[in-house]
């Protein structure tokens, strides 16, 4: 039994007991995030739920579904858009946009991944948090897609025909979005990297959708996808933060999950068998007729590595990526640049899918350098394996990862959302989810074995790994025009095949859709979107306690907060003596500091020392308003560590 005094109305939770339809299967303390982790199953509907309860007031709710593509039509992506276009309780055509206007949310979005779709929200306001849960749960379980085919047409694709003499064209939010996305060479390369490694399972398909195949998706197939995958039995719900778990569970059960019965949902992913030999694939991306095609080729090498639920391995590979390709002293990046294979080198590690993969990417290269690229990669990795990686570089990389994990600073994303993404890597594979959050033991193991750990990773997952691919992505002038012409010809033939009655019907459908899009929601409909009253908003500002001291005439502020063992150190220098027309040079200085060699250290040595001794070092020129005189501001040169 665990007594949760602050998070459930003083409710006592016991293992294998049921609370508002949810049976508590496990509970334990997760020290790394200072939270109580609780795993529930909703007995009637089969929904899975994890509650991470701690003192964070930035509460997160998320519901995810396994959504397994069987083709390139982008059905999962189109459905993600469409569910947020009105529902049973909230019939507004754009409740998402209305919430943005009226909510105090700290996060509000939805996202499609190669094998899942996630709907997360976050808010510090209790009433707002329940409002957001209500809108999102109604959206995923009771969307208006069955009532209005126009939602599919608008968000997915449709034929548009203005009049009898006009050409038919394709329209649709996702169709146009993916057309733009797949004109980017790096997006095309990313798709090829994944497709090349998984020719026999779901990861060979583009979950976002390929514009060439999106128009093959029918309305009935779209609805069938929702019926199959958007069931509570296929759902994974997260509750994070200091909210009242008793109220949260009661709300989800009474308003939604109690209306469903448990069922079997086939959302299994077939594992790709390893290759006997690496594969090589060539393709093209579009450039304009006037653009110079020299040195515009992308080269990549890709390796399948383990499983997404192997959190120790994923931690190690992420650190190895920093060692090889991201650090200022990165030996693989240096080797590729020194060999003049390309002008830029970077790496990517996709560990969100069942079988993660690692990509080594060279930009601004040529197809003729492919063999040199392969040789340089393998020779460099072999040398690092045999001779060992620089000890300071390894220590710096591990320390940097430790700072990142302890800080849990994710560029403005709520922490609970990032923890949800981590949990799903194991949870959706029916593996132990909390292991993804227990990084301390992984770091301890890596530090203990640092003399050979990364060298062994290189041998096992790169040098002796045949489940790999090489991609050559060349520029091609006129490719975009070729595709546009092919699309025009296809649509021209479709129009020629239509009867007069079918053409008239298409014109009417076009008018009907545009009319629906242009008509504003009625006041009655808009009023159904939940809003906050002024009385619902806490007027108290968060106060950070500070202790002011003087050290050698310098003002020093000490702020004692929970920082997971990390000390943050900021220095502000008065820049007011600097004339306005010379501030640009101070900005330039901020850009250069920390990126150049010094009297004592090379740039690479300085980078290692920084990573070994601190989580980061930054320089900037900032301005701060004067609270007493709003027309005044103060210029400061800031050093942060």
Active site residues: 80, 155
Do 140 and 84 meet the contact criterion of CB atoms below 8 Å apart?
A: no
Residues 6 or more apart whose CB falls under 8 angstroms from that of 35 comprise 29, 52, 53, 54, 240
Classify the C-alpha dihedral 378-380-381-382 as positive or negative: positive
* Sign of the torsion angle spanned by Cα atoms 591, 184, 69, 100: positive
What count of other Cβ atoms lies within 10 Å of the Cβ of residue 411?
5
CA distances to 22, 145, 191, 480 from 216, rounded to whole Å, are 41, 18, 20, 21
Number of H helices, E strands in the chain: 20, 23
Q: What are phi and psi of 357, to 5 degrees?
A: -145, 155
**Cβ-defined contacts of 14-18 (< 8 Å, 24+):** 18/43
- Phi and psi torsions of 171, nearest 5°: -135, 155
Count CB neighbours of 176 within 10 A.
Answer: 14
d(CA 422, CA 352): 8
- Helix residue spans in 71-125 (DSSP H): 75-83, 95-102
**What distance in Å separates the CA atoms of residue 158 and residue 510, rounded to the nearest whole number?**
9
Name the residue with tokens 């490694």.
Answer: 197
What is the rounded CA–CA span in Å between residue 284 and residue 188? 9
> Which residue in 414, 423, 51 sits closest to 239, CA to CA?
51
- State both tokens at 423: 């949990």
Cβ(61)–Cβ(50) under 8 Å? no
- Rounded Cα distance, 446 and 426, in Å: 21
DSSP assignment letter at 600: S
CA distance 638 to 527: 47
User: Which residues make beta-bridge pairs with 171?
Assistant: 158
Residues sharing a CB contact under 8 Å with residue 200, sequence separation 6 or more, in sequence order:
270, 272, 273
First-to-final CA distance of the chain: 42
Say which residues have a Cβ less than 8 Å from residue 5's Cβ, sequence separation at least 6: none
Residue 461 DSSP code: I
- Beta-bridge mates of residue 49: 40, 237
CA distance 341 to 295: 10
Cβ burial of 122 (10 Å; 0-12, 13-18, 19+) is buried
Sequential DSSP letters for 186-254: HHHHHHHHHHHH-TTSGGGS-TT--TTTGGG--HHHHHHHHHHHSSGGGEEEEEEESS-HHHHHHHHHH
């Amino acid at each position: 039994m665990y007594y949760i005094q602050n998070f459930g109305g003083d409710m006592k939770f016991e293992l294998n007991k049921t609370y508002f339809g949810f049976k508590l299967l496990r509970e334990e303390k997760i020290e790394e995030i200072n939270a109580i982790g609780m795993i529930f199953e909703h007995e009637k509907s089969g929904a899975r739920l994890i509650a991470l309860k701690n003192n964070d007031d930035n509460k997160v709710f998320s519901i995810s579904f396994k959504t397994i593509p069987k083709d390139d039509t982008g059905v999962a992506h189109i459905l993600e858009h469409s569910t947020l276009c009105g529902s049973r309780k909230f019939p507004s055509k754009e409740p998402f946009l209305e919430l943005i206007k009226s909510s105090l949310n700290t996060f509000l979005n939805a996202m499609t991944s190669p094998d899942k779709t996630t709907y997360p929200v976050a808010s510090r306001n209790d009433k707002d948090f329940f409002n957001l849960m209500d809108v999102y749960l109604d959206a995923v379980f009771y969307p208006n897609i069955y009532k209005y085919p126009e939602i599919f047409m608008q968000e997915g694709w449709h034929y548009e025909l203005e009049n009898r003499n006009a050409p038919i064209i394709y329209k649709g939010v996702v169709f146009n979005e993916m057309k733009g996305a797949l004109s980017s060479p790096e997006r095309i390369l990313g798709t090829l990297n994944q497709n090349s490694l998984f020719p026999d399972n779901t990861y060979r398909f583009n979950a976002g959708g390929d514009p060439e195949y999106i128009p093959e998706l029918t309305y009935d197939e779209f609805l069938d996808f929702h019926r199959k995958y958007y069931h509570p039995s296929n759902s994974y719900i997260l509750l994070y933060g200091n909210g009242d778990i008793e109220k949260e569970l009661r709300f989800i059960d009474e308003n939604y999950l109690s209306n469903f019965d448990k069922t079997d949902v086939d959302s299994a992913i077939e594992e790709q068998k390893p290759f006997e030999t690496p594969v090589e694939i060539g393709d093209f991306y579009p450039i304009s007729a006037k653009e110079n095609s020299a040195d515009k080729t992308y080269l990549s090498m890709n390796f399948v590595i383990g499983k997404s639920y192997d959190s120790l391995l994923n931690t190690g590979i992420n650190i190895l990526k920093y060692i090889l390709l991201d650090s200022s002293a990165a030996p693989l990046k240096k080797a590729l640049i020194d060999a003049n294979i390309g002008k830029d080198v970077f790496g990517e590690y996709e560990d969100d899918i069942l079988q993660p993969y690692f990509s080594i990417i060279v930009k601004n290269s040529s197809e003729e350098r492919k063999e040199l690229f392969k040789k340089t990669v393998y020779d460099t990795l072999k040398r690092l394996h045999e001779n060992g990686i620089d000890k300071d570089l390894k220590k710096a990389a591990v320390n940097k990862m430790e700072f990142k994990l302890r800080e849990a600073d994710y560029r403005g994303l709520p922490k609970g959302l990032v923890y949800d993404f981590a949990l799903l890597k194991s949870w959706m594979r029916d593996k132990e989810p909390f292991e993804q959050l227990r990084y301390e033991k992984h770091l301890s193991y890596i530090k203990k074995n640092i003399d050979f750990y990364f060298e062994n990773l290189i041998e096992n997952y790169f040098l002796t790994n045949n489940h790999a691919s090489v991609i050559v992505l060349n520029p091609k002038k006129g490719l975009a025009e070729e595709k546009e012409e092919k699309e025009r010809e296809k649509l021209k033939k479709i129009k020629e095949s239509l009867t007069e009655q079918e053409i008239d019907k298409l014109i009417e459908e076009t008018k009907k859709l545009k009319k629906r899009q242009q008509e504003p929601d009625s006041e009655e409909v808009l009023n159904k979107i939940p809003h906050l009253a002024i009385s619902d908003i806490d007027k108290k500002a968060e106060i950070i306690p500070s202790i002011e001291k003087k050290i050698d005439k310098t003002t020093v502020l000490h702020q004692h907060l929970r920082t997971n063992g990390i000390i943050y150190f900021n220095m502000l220098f008065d820049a007011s003596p600097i004339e306005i027309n010379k501030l640009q040079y101070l900005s330039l200085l901020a850009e250069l500091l920390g990126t150049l060699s010094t009297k004592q250290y090379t740039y690479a040595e300085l980078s290692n020392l920084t990573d070994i001794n601190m989580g980061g070092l930054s320089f900037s020129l900032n301005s701060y308003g004067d609270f007493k005189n709003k027309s005044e501001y103060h210029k400061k040169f800031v050093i942060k560590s």
